[in-house]
């Protein structure tokens, strides 16, 4: 653990007085609306995994009612009265943090009319079914009215919260409330300035990485067995979770029930394994939240940037590491004997090949992934700001892919219809993926340094031996156990000793890919 993470607030060093009655009453209310939200999450998971195709009309009504019920509980006069009573109360640091988070939720929700909440929920549920059908049929026009409706509703939502601010900045705060949009844009710009010349150098390189050994046909059933084996090795708690298949991989749940989904491609077993490890990172964070704080801000994840840092840390810094493949390649080869001739070096190169011509974000390599994010970020920002019409999304998408990645999608199914996020109305979500990647590099570097300071093997040596406890423990101590107690930058600074920045990520990719492709920038 970093020195900065070992500090204790003075208000907690002493034995604090019993919490004010108003504080306990406020937490009780928070537990109630979070229980409703959790129930909505289960229904949403079911819709994407188990629900029969014809169930959408009923499900949209069910989720709409639950969303309005949660909104009513959150915005009830009693909530505002309790917050007012606690404004000047003598609280511990943890109590103050919980009140801060509830106040933020309350003030945003209280600004939004209940009927708008219902309309957003119903529209997004209907849009999800329409998106799935449109993607399967490669028919953007079938999805366009639903996207238009989601954009209109979210503009209205942002205007209720703050009519005088950039609506996209307001929506971005739904997913990252602690970092301003300007800071996110600065990080994205720093990534672009690093990645574009690095990718240019890689394109010009004569280096060919291994990968042929992992080409062929790989049965879905065997890939699922392999995914389950990987989750077992990494430490996923199947007593509190499960693995299923969905059209778009995701993780859903709480510290008692956190479920993973993935998808399989019989021609690409490395993609499914990578997405499974990615979702494991999300689940490990959620399952690592304190049980006793369930339903309160102290038992909730910080935000999506931090959440994405956990998934990207496991996917990239573990799953794409030489150490991991030193451990896991024999298991992979047991499942797929056709790869018996592959060496650890071959596997390491195969999972780290750079493919600028890839069109699919969730299958993107570690470098070009962020250009996929930039395309989505620029489009959704312009949609919400009113600078782009929904009808122009496919052409704009294709133009940006050609500009940033040098490739143009031939279909909307592999272009602007590939992601689920806009069907949910999740505008402002995409930047958190790149923010999370930058954060993951900073956290992992700190974990490496702290483990190196202990007696015993390095973190790489532990991973190569299939021992993940040291990394689990470091993340639990420095990230998971805190819930939403600390705001984003403070959480990162306590864990690493430094303010959040992209520096660790840019150093990491320049070193790793410079060595792989024998290039320098």
Q: How many CB atoms lie within 10 A of CB 508?
A: 20
pTM: 0.90
Whether pLDDT at 38 is above 90: yes
Angle at 483 between CA 93 and CA 110, to 5 degrees: 80
Distance from C-alpha of 434 to C-alpha of 175, rounded to nearest angstrom: 13
Mean pLDDT, residues 503-508 = 97
Whether pLDDT at 13 is above 80: no
Render pLDDT for 279-325 as a digit per residue (tens, 0 to 9): 999 999 999 999 999 999 999 999 999 999 999 999 999 999 999 99
Helix (H) or strand (E) holding 447: helix 431-452
User: Which residues are annotated as part of the binding site for Zn(2+)?
Assistant: 278, 282, 308
Whether pLDDT at 2 is above 80: no
Q: Are 521 and 197 in contact (CB under 8 A)?
A: yes
Whether pLDDT at 16 is above 80: no
Helix (H) or strand (E) holding 100: helix 93-110
Predicted local confidence at residue 7, as pLDDT:
41
Distance from C-alpha of 388 to C-alpha of 391, rounded to nearest angstrom: 8
Residue whose structure tokens are 């991973």:
463
User: By percentage, how much of the chain surpasses pLDDT 90?
Assistant: 88
Render pLDDT for 489-501 as a digit per residue (tens, 0 to 9): 999 999 999 999 9
* DSSP character string of 104-156: HHHHHHHTS-HHHHHHHHHHHHHHHHHHHHHHHHT-HHHHHHHHHHHHHHHHH
Question: Chain-wide mean pLDDT for the chain?
Answer: 93
Q: Encoding tokens for residue 519? A: 């290039």
Render pLDDT for 103-128 as a digit per residue (tens, 0 to 9): 999 999 999 998 999 899 999 999 99
Render pLDDT for 312-323 as a digit per residue (tens, 0 to 9): 999 999 999 999
- List, in order, residues 6 or more apart from 392 with CB less than 8 Å away: none
Q: Which of 279, 315, 378, 380 is catalytic?
A: 279
Mean pLDDT, residues 241-245 = 97
Between 60-64, 256-260, 323-327, the lowest mean confidence (pLDDT) is in 60-64
Q: Are 373 and 430 in contact (CB under 8 A)?
A: yes
Predicted local confidence at residue 19, as pLDDT:
62
User: Which residues are annotated as part of the binding site?
Assistant: 278, 282, 308
Residue whose structure tokens are 């999608």:
409
- List, in order, residues 6 or more apart from 165 with CB less than 8 Å away: 158
Mean pLDDT, residues 441-468 = 97
Active-site annotation holds for 221: no
Cα distances (Å, whole numbers) of residue 424 to 72, 117, 130, 151, 208: 21, 13, 11, 11, 40
Distance from C-alpha of 247 to C-alpha of 149, rounded to nearest angstrom: 23
Whether pLDDT at 439 is above 60: yes
Total length of the chain: 521
Q: How many CB atoms lie within 10 A of CB 334?
A: 12
Render pLDDT for 344-382 as a digit per residue (tens, 0 to 9): 999 999 999 999 889 999 889 999 999 999 999 999 999
Q: Encoding tokens for residue 125? A: 């549920």
Predicted local confidence at residue 209, as pLDDT:
86
Q: Is 140 or 211 the better-scoring residue by pLDDT?
A: 140
Strands 243-245 and 251-254: unpaired
Q: Encoding tokens for residue 191? A: 């990534």
């Amino acid at each position: 653990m970093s020195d900065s993470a070992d500090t204790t607030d003075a208000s907690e060093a002493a034995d604090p007085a019993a919490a004010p009655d108003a504080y306990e009453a406020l937490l009780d209310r928070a537990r109630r609306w979070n229980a409703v939200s959790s129930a909505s999450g289960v229904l949403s998971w079911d819709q994407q995994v188990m629900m029969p195709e014809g169930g959408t009309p009923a499900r949209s009504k069910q989720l709409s009612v639950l969303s309005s019920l949660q909104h009513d509980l959150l915005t009830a006069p009693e909530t505002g009265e309790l917050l007012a009573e606690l404004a000047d109360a003598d609280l511990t640091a943890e109590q103050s943090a919980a009140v801060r988070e509830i106040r933020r939720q309350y003030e945003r929700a209280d600004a939004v009319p209940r009927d708008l909440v219902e309309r957003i929920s119903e529209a997004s549920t209907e849009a999800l079914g329409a998106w799935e059908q449109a993607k399967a049929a490669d028919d953007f026009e079938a999805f366009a009215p639903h996207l238009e409706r989601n954009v209109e509703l979210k503009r209205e939502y942002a205007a209720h919260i703050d009519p005088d601010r950039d609506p996209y900045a307001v929506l971005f705060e739904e997913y990252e409330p602690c970092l301003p949009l300007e800071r996110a844009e600065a990080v994205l710009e720093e990534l672009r300035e690093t990645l574009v010349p690095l990718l240019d150098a890689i394109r010009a390189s004569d280096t060919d990485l291994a990968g042929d050994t992992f080409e062929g046909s790989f049965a879905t059933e065997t890939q699922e067995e392999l995914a389950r084996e990987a989750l077992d090795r990494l430490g996923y708690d199947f007593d509190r979770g499960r693995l299923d298949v969905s059209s778009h991989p995701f993780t859903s749940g709480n510290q008692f029930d956190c479920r993973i989904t993935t998808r399989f491609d019989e021609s690409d077993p490395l993609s499914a394994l990578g997405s499974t490890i990615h979702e494991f990172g999300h689940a490990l964070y959620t399952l690592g939240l304190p049980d006793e704080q369930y339903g309160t801000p102290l038992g909730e994840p910080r935000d999506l940037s931090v959440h994405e840092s956990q998934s990207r840390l496991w996917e990239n810094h573990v799953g794409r590491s030489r150490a991991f493949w030193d451990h896991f390649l024999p298991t992979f080869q047991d499942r797929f004997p056709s790869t018996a001739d592959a060496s650890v070096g071959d596997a390491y190169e195969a999972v780290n090949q750079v493919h600028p011509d890839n069109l699919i974000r969730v299958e993107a390599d570690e470098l070009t992934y962020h250009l996929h994010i930039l395309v989505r970020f620029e489009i959704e920002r312009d949609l919400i700001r009113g600078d782009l019409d929904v009808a122009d999304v496919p052409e704009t998408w294709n133009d940006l892919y050609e500009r940033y990645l040098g490739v143009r999608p031939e279909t909307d199914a592999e272009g602007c219809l590939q992601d689920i996020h806009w069907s949910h109305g999740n505008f402002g979500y995409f930047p958190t993926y790149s923010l999370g990647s930058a954060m993951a590099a900073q956290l992992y570097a700190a974990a490496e340094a702290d483990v190196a300071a202990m007696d015993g093997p390095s973190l790489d040596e532990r991973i190569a031996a299939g021992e993940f406890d040291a990394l689990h423990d470091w993340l639990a101590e420095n990230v998971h156990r805190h819930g939403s107690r600390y705001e984003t930058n403070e959480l990162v600074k306590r864990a690493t000793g430094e303010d959040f920045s992209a520096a660790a990520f840019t150093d990491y990719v320049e070193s790793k890919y410079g060595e792989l492709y024998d290039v320098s920038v």
